[in-house]
Amino acid sequence: MTDWQSIVATHSAVVWRTVYRLLGNHQDAADCFQETFLSALDVARRQTVRSWPAMLTCLATARAMDRVRQRMRDRSRSVDVAELASAASPEPGPEQQAETADLVRMFRELIVLLPDRQAQVFCLRYVSEMSYREIAREMALKTSDVGVLLHRIHARLRELVKPAGGPSGLEVTP
């Protein structure tokens, strides 16, 4: 097995999981998976990779965010609600499934309203559950800056979702 085969085999699961969770769509996830490894190849040929899983998670998140944005621009493609509805915890009732699907969709709609870098940091922290240190290392930030950035993101999100009627209020329609 070559080094590259070994890298793809070792990290395919984490990349797949990252892109699928953010996209919730099989075809998009497959495309994004490919794009992630192509980006990784490009990075690896230019610089030393200190941590493949962290680098791939970052790239996968960034590529998935791109795709979510693209999807938002093209409203004709909507999230497969039925697919998301099964996202609930064990044996959820229909009400809980609907609520979970709502939350997932809201998350995606909100996150694309953030600037690229903020969206990426937010996903890395709360979806991929990377530590501040890992995020800082991969995104060339100071560890304390990650905390500051997340604080700003929270403030921005609060701004975005403040009660409907305001200028930047967001109402989510199922």
Beta-bridge partners for 166: 164
Of 45 and 75, CB closest to another protein: 45
- Name the minimum Å distance from CB 21 to another protein: 5
Closest alpha carbon to 95 in 107, 108, 80, 85: 85
Of 73 and 142, CB closest to another protein: 142
- Name the minimum Å distance from CB 121 to another protein: 13
Of 117 and 154, CB closest to another protein: 154
- Name the minimum Å distance from CB 73 to another protein: 20
- Name the minimum Å distance from CB 63 to another protein: 13
Closest alpha carbon to 37 in 21, 29, 22: 29
DSSP per residue over 34-82, as a string?
Answer: HHHHHHHHHHHHHS--S-HHHHHHHHHHHHHHHHHHHHHHSTTS---HH
Of 25 and 76, CB closest to another protein: 25
Q: Is the dihedral of CA 78, 121, 103, 100 positive or negative?
A: positive
